[in-house]
Structure 1
């Protein structure tokens, strides 16, 4: 659901950029005051994992693919939607600047959809569903999985509204198309979110909010991230993602070719010219490392003075 340059109008890009900048600024303060990041590595590892997981597109019906958005998962692991927003914003910024994944002019819109709508919808629904299911920690993966699936559709509707306001596509076509395909992608999101939380609750409770004060062992998380970014990414579906498929079907895909606002990088499209699959693996590892480093730095910046 990464909007490229050209899909949203300048007014929409500016408006979403301003709103997003404001929310991210508040998130930096809230993460310090309400979340109180005690473990910079936790934010770093979560951000690196989300980056790596987003490289792995899975096929859905109709020759379309999807990938994890990760907003709900990030918020649950970090114990705060504010920290979840920072995590997703970091991933999207790195993807846009280093890998030309998502437009520079659309960066505010992308963070708004995935890092704000997606994160907060998933977080709020998880809390509500958790209470309805009795509040048991054993039900958290189920509650979060359902919430994550719905959050994808909510983010897709947000994207559709931006396309409508931009005059890119009519409402009667783009909203059903975006919501329809992202219902399928949301099912994948829910399964992945629930599966990851089930594993963490069973095998690595130290990576979930609770009484643990520090991460117990870095090896497995780091190896997992490297395997996803460096190996599993090679098997990602080549089918167009949900937004790209909708753009193709509705005839506005070529708009992305009319606007080129990018920072030159050797890692565009997660590849290195002439390196083939090895280049994909290298860029995945580089992106994961960059995600960890930037998020780790943010955690240190938002660390309470008395921590």
Structure 2
């Protein structure tokens, strides 16, 4: 009699099992939102070996008919003050500048392009030719969540992502050690040169790269650092959770911490905008030494859940059953 796989075995195919454990989360070396260092315990879980690719996402769309956020025209009622003519479907696309610009203003390199979406990454005249094995981009949080639900999976917590990204290394700046480019080796897809106008492309890629292009980490995971930012399930807070739940013997270790509450995740710089922000992890191909040194496991970044851009993707997890 032929043996058939169980539903659970089918779901975790192409995933890596992470044993769980206790690690030091955060960093006190780079950005204030990564502080303080804290001891965190995560339970065992499975995580996708790579980010979800365009090929993967196309199968989901074909099976479900799903339409992404970027493919739906925004309702002006949801965006008070929307400029006339902006109520069209589209997404944010990165454009390299010709000269140095003020790096405090992202509008210098981001533009909202009508018709840009996951299958038209640079705009309506672009396509996925030669990009099927690249991470899917232009993914808003709801899109990632919908895919995960369809696949029988979930999105990782910030702690799960960081634990997995470290690959078993404790207290190292990068997922591979303490040197960004050991002996000149490019270990991930990030920006080499002066952002946003001079990319030396020492890693061989101007934008995203195919998954598995760079070495896997200690757990056998690819692209946990660089290539694209990845959504996590946690709401953003400027200061991560640092208080352990009151359990016997757990006074100094947080177990499976979660992020802030929705009401605390809003951007204080935009008091009229009530759109929650989730934590992104992993950095992207646009992180550079002179602008965004977030090609590290401890790095974290807030993103409004309705945002879709050319540098945000995701991967999924399956948690071990108790």
> TM-score range with shorter-chain normalisation?
under 0.3
In terms of fraction of residues, the more helix-rich structure is 1
TM-score under structure 2 length normalisation = 0.24
TM-score under structure 1 length normalisation = 0.24
In terms of fraction of residues, the more strand-rich structure is 2
* Structure possessing the higher radius of gyration over alpha carbons: 2
Greater relative contact order (Cα 8 A, min sep 6): structure 1 or 2?
1
